[in-house]
Amino acid sequence: MKILIVEDSKNMSGVLKEVLEHEGITVLQAFDGVAGLLAARREKPDLVLLDLLLPKMSGYDVCSRLMTDNLTRHIPVLVVSTLDTRDSMNKLRAAGARHFMKKPYSLDELLAKIHSLLPKPPSTGA
């Protein structure tokens, strides 16, 4: 499994990377919207964790472009942000976002949500 974290806070991104790698997940990081979009297209992760307040391109624009690009539209995007106003949620829905978690969050809740969005490994008949 491979997750792309698009988060401008290197501290928060680093903590998440460490936790996810402990779970056996490969983690890619991007610290601005443009880099995040390029990494998603190049690496095709199984999930994108996306902040909204990013340099160079907002998370809304990143999400919208991911959802309309044939290379990335199948990748689930989990938006993780402090912005949970009605206006912000409407903009997110318009951008194609279907999954949202408010910061601050509990790590257990975030991990549960991440695991629910990752593809399930094929079961082996025993």
Which tokens belong to 65?
Answer: 């472009």
In total, how many domains does the chain have?
1
122 within domain boundaries: no
126 within domain boundaries: no
This prediction has a pTM of 0.91
The residue whose two tokens read 């996306």 is 50
C-alpha gyration radius of the chain: 14
pLDDT of residue 19: 94
pLDDT of residue 43: 96
SS3 101: strand
pLDDT per position in the chain (126 positions), as tens?
999 999 999 999 999 999 999 999 999 999 999 999 999 999 999 999 999 999 999 999 999 999 999 999 999 999 998 888 899 889 988 998 889 999 888 899 999 999 999 988 766 655
pLDDT of residue 97: 87
SS3 70: coil
Domain span holding position 53: 2-117
pLDDT of residue 126: 52
Helix boundaries (H) for 27-106: 33-43, 59-68, 86-95
pLDDT of residue 120: 80
Closest CA to 44 of 96, 3, 99: 3
Give the CATH number, domain containing residue 37.
Answer: 3.40.50.2300
Sheet holding 2-6, edge to edge: 26-30, 2-6, 47-50, 77-81, 99-102
125 within domain boundaries: no
124 within domain boundaries: no
9 within domain boundaries: yes
